[in-house]
Amino acid sequence: MEIFEALYTTRAMRRVSSDPIPGDVVRSMLDAAIRSPSGGNSQNWRWLTVTDRSAIGVLGELYAEAWVELNETFYKGKKEAAEERGDEATKRVLSSSQWLADNFEKVPLVVFPFFRNDPSGASIYPGVWSMMLAARAHNVGTTLTTVLGIFKQKEVADLLGVPPDKGWQNAAAITCGYPLGKWGLAKRAPVQNVVYEERWGTSPGWSVDESLWKPTAQG
Ligand SMILES: Cc1cc2nc3c(=O)[nH]c(=O)nc-3n(C[C@H](O)[C@H](O)[C@H](O)COP(=O)(O)O)c2cc1C
Protein backbone atom coordinates (compact mmCIF):
# COMPACT_ATOMS: atom_id res chain seq x y z
CA MET A 1 0.00 0.00 0.00
CA GLU A 2 1.18 3.48 -0.85
CA ILE A 3 2.15 5.42 2.30
CA PHE A 4 -0.10 8.41 1.57
CA GLU A 5 -3.12 6.17 1.16
CA ALA A 6 -2.45 4.71 4.60
CA LEU A 7 -1.89 8.18 6.10
CA TYR A 8 -5.09 9.62 4.66
CA THR A 9 -7.42 6.66 5.22
CA THR A 10 -6.43 5.17 8.57
CA ARG A 11 -9.60 5.98 10.44
CA ALA A 12 -11.21 4.91 13.68
CA MET A 13 -12.65 1.60 12.43
CA ARG A 14 -14.92 0.71 15.34
CA ARG A 15 -17.25 -1.66 13.53
CA VAL A 16 -15.23 -4.83 13.01
CA SER A 17 -16.04 -8.51 12.60
CA SER A 18 -15.08 -11.04 15.25
CA ASP A 19 -12.97 -13.04 12.76
CA PRO A 20 -9.56 -13.70 14.34
CA ILE A 21 -6.50 -11.88 13.01
CA PRO A 22 -3.79 -14.34 11.91
CA GLY A 23 -0.66 -14.49 14.04
CA ASP A 24 1.66 -13.36 11.25
CA VAL A 25 -0.43 -10.21 10.77
CA VAL A 26 -0.36 -9.44 14.51
CA ARG A 27 3.41 -9.97 14.53
CA SER A 28 3.82 -7.63 11.57
CA MET A 29 1.75 -4.91 13.30
CA LEU A 30 3.83 -5.13 16.49
CA ASP A 31 7.17 -5.38 14.67
CA ALA A 32 6.24 -2.17 12.81
CA ALA A 33 5.29 -0.55 16.14
CA ILE A 34 8.66 -1.20 17.76
CA ARG A 35 10.57 0.22 14.72
CA SER A 36 9.19 3.64 15.65
CA PRO A 37 11.25 6.29 17.44
CA SER A 38 11.22 6.91 21.21
CA GLY A 39 13.01 9.62 23.20
CA GLY A 40 16.71 8.67 23.48
CA ASN A 41 15.75 5.41 21.78
CA SER A 42 14.73 4.27 25.27
CA GLN A 43 12.07 1.85 23.95
CA ASN A 44 10.53 1.98 27.39
CA TRP A 45 7.38 0.27 26.29
CA ARG A 46 5.46 -2.97 26.51
CA TRP A 47 2.73 -4.09 24.13
CA LEU A 48 0.13 -6.43 25.55
CA THR A 49 -2.09 -8.28 23.06
CA VAL A 50 -5.37 -9.73 24.30
CA THR A 51 -7.44 -12.22 22.30
CA ASP A 52 -8.87 -14.33 25.14
CA ARG A 53 -12.67 -14.21 24.79
CA SER A 54 -13.43 -14.11 28.49
CA ALA A 55 -10.87 -11.33 29.15
CA ILE A 56 -12.27 -9.30 26.26
CA GLY A 57 -15.76 -9.91 27.68
CA VAL A 58 -14.69 -8.35 31.00
CA LEU A 59 -12.94 -5.51 29.16
CA GLY A 60 -16.19 -4.96 27.25
CA GLU A 61 -18.11 -4.53 30.51
CA LEU A 62 -15.48 -2.10 31.81
CA TYR A 63 -15.49 -0.25 28.48
CA ALA A 64 -19.29 0.14 28.54
CA GLU A 65 -19.14 1.54 32.08
CA ALA A 66 -16.31 3.89 31.15
CA TRP A 67 -18.25 5.06 28.08
CA VAL A 68 -21.25 5.92 30.30
CA GLU A 69 -18.93 7.83 32.66
CA LEU A 70 -17.42 9.73 29.72
CA ASN A 71 -20.89 10.73 28.55
CA GLU A 72 -21.80 11.91 32.03
CA THR A 73 -18.65 14.02 32.39
CA PHE A 74 -16.47 15.25 29.50
CA TYR A 75 -19.07 14.47 26.84
CA LYS A 76 -22.04 15.71 28.86
CA GLY A 77 -24.57 17.38 26.59
CA LYS A 78 -22.48 16.68 23.47
CA LYS A 79 -25.11 14.48 21.82
CA GLU A 80 -27.96 16.92 22.53
CA ALA A 81 -25.87 19.87 21.29
CA ALA A 82 -25.01 17.96 18.09
CA GLU A 83 -28.69 17.18 17.55
CA GLU A 84 -29.69 20.80 18.10
CA ARG A 85 -27.05 22.07 15.66
CA GLY A 86 -27.78 19.32 13.13
CA ASP A 87 -24.09 18.40 13.40
CA GLU A 88 -24.12 15.14 11.42
CA ALA A 89 -20.35 14.52 11.73
CA THR A 90 -20.43 14.53 15.56
CA LYS A 91 -23.61 12.45 15.57
CA ARG A 92 -21.86 9.85 13.38
CA VAL A 93 -18.82 9.71 15.70
CA LEU A 94 -21.09 9.29 18.72
CA SER A 95 -23.17 6.55 17.12
CA SER A 96 -20.07 4.68 15.95
CA SER A 97 -18.57 5.06 19.46
CA GLN A 98 -21.78 3.73 20.95
CA TRP A 99 -21.52 0.69 18.63
CA LEU A 100 -18.07 -0.07 20.03
CA ALA A 101 -19.31 0.35 23.62
CA ASP A 102 -22.19 -2.06 22.86
CA ASN A 103 -20.07 -4.61 20.96
CA PHE A 104 -16.61 -4.45 22.52
CA GLU A 105 -16.79 -8.10 23.59
CA LYS A 106 -16.89 -9.15 19.90
CA VAL A 107 -13.57 -7.48 19.00
CA PRO A 108 -11.02 -10.21 18.16
CA LEU A 109 -7.89 -8.39 19.35
CA VAL A 110 -7.15 -5.54 21.75
CA VAL A 111 -3.60 -4.18 22.01
CA PHE A 112 -2.58 -2.29 25.16
CA PRO A 113 0.59 -0.17 24.82
CA PHE A 114 2.30 0.68 28.14
CA PHE A 115 5.08 3.17 28.87
CA ARG A 116 7.14 4.28 31.87
CA ASN A 117 9.82 6.83 32.85
CA ASP A 118 8.67 9.16 30.10
CA PRO A 119 7.91 12.64 31.51
CA SER A 120 6.30 13.87 28.29
CA GLY A 121 4.37 10.64 27.71
CA ALA A 122 5.05 11.25 24.02
CA SER A 123 7.35 8.34 23.19
CA ILE A 124 4.58 5.78 22.94
CA TYR A 125 2.52 7.55 20.27
CA PRO A 126 4.75 7.12 17.21
CA GLY A 127 4.64 3.38 17.93
CA VAL A 128 0.89 3.40 18.41
CA TRP A 129 0.34 5.14 15.10
CA SER A 130 2.87 2.91 13.29
CA MET A 131 1.00 -0.12 14.55
CA MET A 132 -2.28 1.33 13.30
CA LEU A 133 -0.77 2.14 9.89
CA ALA A 134 0.70 -1.37 9.60
CA ALA A 135 -2.72 -2.78 10.51
CA ARG A 136 -4.25 -0.62 7.75
CA ALA A 137 -1.77 -2.09 5.26
CA HIS A 138 -3.08 -5.56 6.24
CA ASN A 139 -6.71 -4.38 5.91
CA VAL A 140 -7.11 -4.61 9.69
CA GLY A 141 -9.20 -1.82 11.20
CA THR A 142 -8.09 -0.25 14.47
CA THR A 143 -9.46 2.27 16.93
CA LEU A 144 -7.26 4.10 19.37
CA THR A 145 -9.32 4.35 22.56
CA THR A 146 -8.38 6.02 25.82
CA VAL A 147 -11.63 5.88 27.75
CA LEU A 148 -10.63 2.69 29.62
CA GLY A 149 -7.35 4.30 30.69
CA ILE A 150 -9.17 7.40 31.93
CA PHE A 151 -11.79 5.65 34.04
CA LYS A 152 -10.64 2.03 34.52
CA GLN A 153 -6.82 2.08 34.62
CA LYS A 154 -6.61 0.01 37.83
CA GLU A 155 -9.31 -2.51 36.88
CA VAL A 156 -7.60 -3.12 33.52
CA ALA A 157 -4.17 -3.45 35.16
CA ASP A 158 -5.54 -5.98 37.69
CA LEU A 159 -7.29 -7.98 34.97
CA LEU A 160 -4.19 -8.15 32.78
CA GLY A 161 -1.72 -8.80 35.60
CA VAL A 162 0.22 -5.55 35.13
CA PRO A 163 2.60 -5.18 38.12
CA PRO A 164 1.38 -2.26 40.25
CA ASP A 165 4.85 -1.17 41.44
CA LYS A 166 6.96 -0.97 38.27
CA GLY A 167 5.70 2.36 36.95
CA TRP A 168 3.94 1.01 33.85
CA GLN A 169 1.17 3.27 32.58
CA ASN A 170 -1.35 2.28 30.00
CA ALA A 171 -1.54 4.68 27.04
CA ALA A 172 -4.51 3.25 25.16
CA ALA A 173 -6.57 0.22 24.27
CA ILE A 174 -6.41 -0.31 20.51
CA THR A 175 -9.25 -2.43 19.20
CA CYS A 176 -8.36 -4.38 16.05
CA GLY A 177 -10.42 -6.39 13.59
CA TYR A 178 -11.47 -6.80 9.98
CA PRO A 179 -13.66 -3.85 8.95
CA LEU A 180 -17.41 -4.10 8.61
CA GLY A 181 -17.39 -0.57 7.20
CA LYS A 182 -15.47 0.97 4.31
CA TRP A 183 -12.16 2.79 4.42
CA GLY A 184 -12.55 6.44 3.52
CA LEU A 185 -10.68 9.68 3.39
CA ALA A 186 -10.47 11.37 6.81
CA LYS A 187 -12.44 14.62 6.74
CA ARG A 188 -10.84 17.46 8.66
CA ALA A 189 -10.97 21.25 8.88
CA PRO A 190 -8.73 22.62 6.09
CA VAL A 191 -5.03 22.77 6.86
CA GLN A 192 -4.78 26.56 6.50
CA ASN A 193 -7.29 26.95 9.35
CA VAL A 194 -4.87 25.41 11.82
CA VAL A 195 -1.45 26.46 10.49
CA TYR A 196 0.29 29.75 11.30
CA GLU A 197 3.35 31.11 9.55
CA GLU A 198 6.26 32.65 11.44
CA ARG A 199 4.10 34.15 14.19
CA TRP A 200 1.13 32.93 16.17
CA GLY A 201 -2.08 34.01 14.46
CA THR A 202 -0.55 34.74 11.03
CA SER A 203 -2.29 32.66 8.39
CA PRO A 204 -0.09 30.99 5.76
CA GLY A 205 -0.03 32.58 2.32
CA TRP A 206 -1.50 29.43 0.80
CA SER A 207 -4.54 27.26 1.13
CA VAL A 208 -5.43 23.68 0.28
CA ASP A 209 -9.05 23.43 -0.70
CA GLU A 210 -9.21 19.70 -1.31
CA SER A 211 -7.27 16.83 0.19
CA LEU A 212 -3.90 16.56 -1.62
CA TRP A 213 -4.22 12.77 -1.71
CA LYS A 214 -7.30 11.44 -3.45
CA PRO A 215 -8.71 7.93 -3.60
CA THR A 216 -8.28 6.26 -6.99
CA ALA A 217 -11.30 5.18 -9.05
CA GLN A 218 -10.85 1.66 -7.63
CA GLY A 219 -11.34 3.09 -4.13
C1 LIG B 1 -6.09 10.20 21.84
C2 LIG B 1 -7.34 9.58 21.23
C3 LIG B 1 -8.28 8.99 22.05
C4 LIG B 1 -9.41 8.39 21.52
N5 LIG B 1 -10.27 7.74 22.36
C6 LIG B 1 -11.35 7.11 21.83
C7 LIG B 1 -12.21 6.33 22.69
O8 LIG B 1 -11.99 6.21 23.90
N9 LIG B 1 -13.26 5.70 22.10
C10 LIG B 1 -13.52 5.79 20.76
O11 LIG B 1 -14.50 5.18 20.29
N12 LIG B 1 -12.72 6.50 19.93
C13 LIG B 1 -11.64 7.15 20.43
N14 LIG B 1 -10.78 7.85 19.60
C15 LIG B 1 -11.05 7.89 18.14
C16 LIG B 1 -11.48 9.29 17.69
O17 LIG B 1 -12.77 9.59 18.17
C18 LIG B 1 -11.46 9.37 16.14
O19 LIG B 1 -10.18 9.08 15.68
C20 LIG B 1 -11.88 10.75 15.66
O21 LIG B 1 -13.26 10.95 15.91
C22 LIG B 1 -11.64 10.96 14.16
O23 LIG B 1 -12.35 10.01 13.43
P24 LIG B 1 -11.63 9.18 12.27
O25 LIG B 1 -10.44 8.53 12.89
O26 LIG B 1 -12.65 8.19 11.82
O27 LIG B 1 -11.27 10.13 11.18
C28 LIG B 1 -9.64 8.43 20.11
C29 LIG B 1 -8.68 9.02 19.27
C30 LIG B 1 -7.53 9.59 19.81
C31 LIG B 1 -6.50 10.18 18.88
For residue range 169-202, list pLDDT tens digits in order. Answer: 999 999 999 999 899 999 899 999 999 999 999 9
- pLDDT per residue as tens digits for the range 24-73: 999 999 999 999 999 999 999 999 999 999 999 999 999 999 999 999 99
Predicted confidence (pLDDT) at residue 209 exceeds the cutoff of 60: yes
- pLDDT per residue as tens digits for the range 89-108: 899 999 999 999 999 999 99
| CA-closest residue to ligand 1 atom 12 | 145
Ligand 1 atom closest to residue 10's alpha carbon, by position in its atom list: 25
User: Of 168, 195, 191, which is closest to residue 8 (Cα–Cα)?
Assistant: 191
Q: Ligand 1 centre from 206 Cα, in Å? A: 29
Ligand 1 atom closest to residue 13's alpha carbon, by position in its atom list: 26
Q: Are 112 and 172 in contact (CB under 8 A)?
A: yes
Contacts of 176 (CB under 8 A, 6+ apart): 16, 21, 29, 107, 108, 109, 110, 111, 135, 140, 141, 142
Q: Ligand 1 centre from 144 Cα, in Å? A: 6
Ligand 1 atom closest to residue 188's alpha carbon, by position in its atom list: 27
Q: What is the CATH number of domain 3-189?
A: 3.40.109.10
- pLDDT per residue as tens digits for the range 156-175: 999 999 999 999 999 999 99
Q: Ligand 1 centre from 97 Cα, in Å? A: 8
- pLDDT per residue as tens digits for the range 105-140: 999 999 999 999 999 999 999 999 999 999 999 999
- pLDDT per residue as tens digits for the range 136-153: 999 999 999 999 999 999
Q: Ligand 1 centre from 42 Cα, in Å? A: 27
Ligand 1 atom closest to residue 93's alpha carbon, by position in its atom list: 21
Q: Where are the beta strands (DSSP E) in the chain?
A: 45-50, 109-115, 141-145, 169-170, 173-177
Predicted confidence (pLDDT) at residue 219 exceeds the cutoff of 60: no
Give the pLDDT confidence score for residue 75 in this predicted structure.
Answer: 87
Domain ranges of the chain: 3-189
Q: Ligand 1 centre from 205 Cα, in Å? A: 31
Stated pTM of the model: 0.96
Q: What residues flank ligand 1, with Cβ below 6 Å?
A: 11-12, 14, 93, 97, 100, 143-147, 186
